[in-house]
A and B are shown apart, each in its own frame.
Chain A
Amino acid sequence: GAVVSQHPSRVICKSGTSVKIECRSLDFQATTMFWYRQFPKQSLMLMATSNEGSKATYEQGVEKDKFLINHASLTLSTLTVTSAHPEDSSFYICSAARLAGHYLGHEQYFGPGTRLTVT
């Protein structure tokens, strides 16, 4: 159990267009989902925390109007990169939190990631 999917796995888009990335928890309900981005040879950088039915909380330096997050249900969160530019090219990874049933509390399960290339 605890499978998280992301779609698409790879996307290439032209500069100025918008791209939507979906994150789904397939076999559990996730009250909280996280969105990260990862540049080559760098760590995961948290972009925003998304709770079902409420507005996402963005990390400092992340433009909320550029990276639109919607968490419409307990199993689906979407990240829309609006007016994408080449510098937005990155690996975007979502995670879904589930109560782990041990002292770790909530455990995050990661999706396989989406590689975005903006030309």
Chain B
Amino acid sequence: QKEVEQDPGPLSVPEGAIVSLNCTYSNSAFQYFMWYRQYSRKGPELLMYTYSSGNKEDGRFTAQVDKSSKYISLFIRDSQPSDSATYLCATKGTGANNLFFGTGTRLTVIP
């Protein structure tokens, strides 16, 4: 079983739509949860991170973690064409540097 599972998509939405991206993970020891955005032929950039369960909001982006179900979500409100990218979820345990990535979901926001 992979440490992190993510639907690869692709996902296409019209501009202004609410986007929901999701991952599941298997190891209950994971405590840190990250979302990275990767544009084509570029390295990933950290978008948001959360610790343990709960929500975190940053502008149009909301990250949500439910540790009871081992479920990670990223919501994008009022999506823009510039949001078109691949979004990767990642997790790690306490004191660890190694990240476990999902496969990434390719998102296209259509103007």
Please list the residues of chain A having a beta carbon within 8 angstroms of any beta carbon in chain B: 4, 6, 32, 34, 41-44, 46, 49, 91, 93, 95, 97, 103-113, 115
Contact = CB atoms under 8 A, between A and B. Distances in A.
Given A103-B51, A111-B43, A49 B101 contact: no
B100 to A, nearest CB: 8
Interface size range on B against A: 20 to 34
A108 B101 CA distance: 13
B105 to A, nearest CB: 10
Contact of B97 (A4, A6, A108, A115): A108
Nearest to A45: B101
B88 A107 contact: no
Given A41-B8, A43-B88, A44-B88, A108 B99 contact: yes
A95 to B, nearest CB: 8
B42 interface: yes
B45 interface: yes
A49 B96 CA distance: 12
Nearest to A112: B43
A4 to B, nearest CB: 7
A32 B104 CA distance: 24
B49 interface: yes
A72 B46 CA distance: 26
B103 A42 contact: yes
Given A44-B101, A46-B98, 5 more contacts: A43-B101, A103-B32, A105-B95, A108-B99, A110-B45
Nearest 5 Cβ contacts at the A-B interface: A110-B43, A43-B103, A43-B101, A44-B101, A112-B43
